[in-house]
Structure 1
Amino acid sequence: MRITHALVQLAVALMAAPDDRHWGYELSKQAGVGPGAMYPRLAKMLEEGWIEDGWQTTEEASGHPPRRYYTLTSKGKAELGALLVKAEQDRRFRSLNLGFA
């Protein structure tokens, strides 16, 4: 997968809580990436086996339509961790101010 600013920002947001469920809207806000850039990358991550998706149960949704969530797989944690290491060493991503050394 091509390393872009949107992908790095999404990786940072996912890896901030690698064992949690991630909801699309909240993930978009946390990563600072719009839906038009985020959802194609999530689809690619699903295809690559980096994430899995699911839907809230009716009980969890409590009155609103069930929301789709994403969780990192073991492969995804390894791949996104490696991607972030590469991004730390790439000066293109320094402007993201993501705490890189």
Structure 2
Amino acid sequence: MRKTHALIQVVLALMEDPDGRHWGYELSKQSGVRSGVLYPMLRRMLDDGWLEDGWEEPSEATGKRPPRRYYKLNAEGQAAAVAILSEARQDARFRALVGRPAL
């Protein structure tokens, strides 16, 4: 997957809770990546085998809203995320997002 600022931002958001379920709207707000960029990226991550997805149980849905779709990093996705963030720390284009490399 091509490394972009949006990808780094989404990976950072996913890695804040690497074992948790993430909702698209919350990922968009947390990462600052608009939905028109986020959802195709999540689809590529699913296709590449980095994520698992599913639907919220109807009993978990509050009010009259429909169940939400969630995304969860699997082991392959967590390893890919660690590698992407490690590479981003070495790339001057992404230092503002991920900080300086460890010395």
Gap runs ≥5 in structure 2: none
Match of 1:69 in 2: 70
Partner of 2:91: 90
What are the equivalent positions in structure 2 for 1:1-101 lying under 5 Å apart? 1-63=1-63, 64-96=65-97, 98-101=98-101
Q: Which amino acid aligns with 1:3?
A: K
Compute the displacement of 1:37 (Å): 1.0
Change in Cα spacing, 1:83 to 1:61, as seen in structure 2 (3 Å) is same
RMSD: 1.1
- Alignment size in residue pairs: 100
Q: Which runs of 4+ in 1 moved over 6 A?
A: none
Deviations 1:13-68 (Å, cap 9, x if unpaired)?
00110011000111101111000111111000000110011111110113321001
Q: 1:100 to 1:33 in 2, by over 3 A?
A: farther
TM-score for the superposition, normalised by structure 2: 0.92
C-alpha deviations, 1:68-89, integer Å up to 9, x for none?
Answer: 1100000000001100000000
Output the CA distance in 2 between the equivalents of 1:54 and 1:100: 36
SS at match of 1:7: helix
Q: Aligned residues: percent identity?
A: 58
Unaligned runs of at least 5 residues, structure 1:
none
Output the TM-score relative to the length of structure 1: 0.93
